[in-house]
Amino acid sequence: MKKGKVFGIILLILLLLAGGVFAAYKLMDPHNGTIRSAEPSRPVEDVLTFEQAREDLDRMVQLIAEKHYATIDGLPSALQSQYDREIGELQSMQAITVLDVWGAADRIANKLNDAHTVLGYSYGSDENMKYADMDLTVADDGSAQIEIEGISYPVTAVNGVPIETLFNKASGMLSYENKYRLAEQFETHLHLPEFLAVLGADYKKDRITVAYKNTGGQVQDAVFLCKSSADPVEVREPIRYTIDEQTNTALLTIDSCQYDEYYRSTLREFFTQVKEKKIAHVILDLRENGGGNSQCANEFLRYLDIDSYKDYGSRTRYSFLHFSTDPGITANKRAAELTFQGKLYLLTSRKTFSSAVMFAALLYDNQLATVIGEPAGNAPSCYGDVLTYQLPNSKLTFSTTYKYFIRPDAQNTADTILPGYVTSSEEALDKAYELIGD
């Protein structure tokens, strides 16, 4: 056989093998079937057949079984049992609404104990999403306060349902890893008519009624009209800073972990100013940070005076395969000319979530910062890397994960970052300045 012909056959075999490997990779790619944008969910009052409702729940459970790291060896028994109960309940109903499917799916997802595995409602546009503009806050134990004309009153009910009942339902429906995330999410739900309806309250898309005890101990109602989330709001950059030379302090606020050129250049600009002005105290504010890209934390560490640091490990699932890296030591690619050698303070709240908690854990586990504020909103060792889908009939959105991240201090199994100085979120910055002044 001529050499050219042999070469051609070998090349063909290699191409076929490469094609097979690529095809196998695509089949196992966890992002298969995910969506970039969602079509509007069906109105919550819409009626579905039992077959349609079951198809939606089956699709969600199938995705969890195929993608989630916790289900490599099969569905957890608690999740399977909840699924069986929900199917039985739906089958007994004379009329099944989108709201019923939503509640059933929530209760199933709740059993994973993964704050990133959640159901959502797609409004189609900001104009269609309505919320009640009220100053209602929820404590970690589920009790609520409403502020009216500068005075706070204890809430007794929302849309006719006792606040204790709503909170108990939320604890079995929402996805969370600690009580701080549960309280924060419950507070958000109480402002939104559709989400409130999932918890069993009356659905009134244009208003929310809050019952509270006045100063005389009598219960009275306050009605809050819902407005569009498209209404103008203050737009702030996701990363911004101020420098106070008088107190020798610089405040860096990061509201979202958006790892891009703007983030990197702003970070460099900030530490350039810190260096030039010989600032001794830096306050990093992650109180409003709901996560994003975890590389933001590693970029920040480049400006600290450390040669290396303990880093995260991970467990990643690709269909029936999974890969592991243990927490270990990472060499710090320092921005040597801008290295900060002063004191670092970190502000957290229960809104600090996902990659922002990983950010906080890197600083906490490496003993690089004094933490002030509220405990963070999810566990430092947690599931992550979100995949988003849309259920076929209700058109509810559904997100789950395919990785598990292990904090640098793997022996620490706490479900939050507990600050060294626990304060309310509102008082955290003042506490930092108080410590700096001492």
Same domain membership, residue 70 and residue 199: no
Q: How does the average pLDDT of the chain come out, rounded?
A: 93
In what helix (H) or strand (E) does residue 61 lie, and over which residues does it extend? helix 50-67
In what helix (H) or strand (E) does residue 298 lie, and over which residues does it extend? helix 295-301
In what helix (H) or strand (E) does residue 157 lie, and over which residues does it extend? strand 151-158
CATH number of the domain within which 224 lies: 2.30.42.10
Q: What is the pLDDT of residue 236?
A: 84
Percent of the chain with pLDDT over 70: 93
Same domain membership, residue 254 and residue 375: yes
Same domain membership, residue 255 and residue 110: no
Answer positive or negative: Cα dihedral of 243, 247, 249, 252: negative
Same domain membership, residue 214 and residue 246: no
Q: What is the pLDDT of residue 4?
A: 58
Same domain membership, residue 247 and residue 187: no
Mean pLDDT value of segment 21-35: 70
> Higher confidence at residue 46 or residue 336?
46
- Does position 21 have pLDDT exceeding 50, yes or no? no
Per-residue DSSP letters for 258-286? --SHHHHHHHHHHHHHHHHTT--EEEEE-
Last residue in a domain, options 205, 228, 251: 228
Residue 104 domain flag: yes
Residue 397 domain flag: no
pLDDT tens, residue by residue, 350-398: 999 999 999 999 999 999 999 999 999 999 999 999 999 999 999 999 9
Q: What is the pLDDT of residue 376?
A: 98
Same domain membership, residue 274 and residue 319: yes
Q: What is the pLDDT of residue 10?
A: 60
- Does position 331 have pLDDT exceeding 80, yes or no? yes
- CB 379, CB 316: distance < 8 Å: no
Per-residue DSSP letters for 218-262? -EEEEEEEEEETTS------SEEEEEETTTTEEEEEESSB--SHH
- Does position 161 have pLDDT exceeding 80, yes or no? yes
Residue 401 domain flag: no
As given in the structure block, the two tokens for residue 254 are: 């990061």
CATH number of the domain within which 301 lies: 3.90.226.10
Compute the distance between CA of residue 28 and CA of residue 20 in angstroms, rounded to an integer.
12
Tell me the residue type at 18: A
Residue 402 domain flag: no
Q: What is the pLDDT of residue 23?
A: 46
Same domain membership, residue 263 and residue 161: no
Number of domains in the chain: 4
Mean pLDDT value of segment 167-178: 98
pLDDT tens, residue by residue, 102-117: 999 999 999 999 999 9
Q: What is the pLDDT of residue 3?
A: 57
- Does position 293 have pLDDT exceeding 70, yes or no? yes
- CB 110, CB 174: distance < 8 Å: yes
Residue 42 domain flag: no
- Does position 19 have pLDDT exceeding 60, yes or no? no
Last residue in a domain, options 178, 198, 228: 228
pLDDT band at 73 (very low <50, low <70, confident <90, very high): very high
Q: What is the pLDDT of residue 125?
A: 86
Mean pLDDT value of segment 164-189: 97
- Does position 169 have pLDDT exceeding 60, yes or no? yes
| pTM (whole model) above 0.95 | no
Q: What is the pLDDT of residue 205?
A: 87
pLDDT band at 124 (very low <50, low <70, confident <90, very high): confident
Residue 407 domain flag: no
Same domain membership, residue 304 and residue 182: no
**What is the domain extent for residue 2?**
1-30
> Higher confidence at residue 231 or residue 244?
244
Tell me the residue type at 277: K
Mean pLDDT value of segment 246-275: 97
Same domain membership, residue 343 and residue 215: no
Residue 406 domain flag: no
Tell me the residue type at 189: H
Mean pLDDT value of segment 246-255: 97
Same domain membership, residue 191 and residue 246: no
Mean pLDDT value of segment 116-145: 94
Residue 430 domain flag: yes
Same domain membership, residue 432 and residue 334: yes
- Does position 259 have pLDDT exceeding 80, yes or no? yes
Same domain membership, residue 421 and residue 286: yes
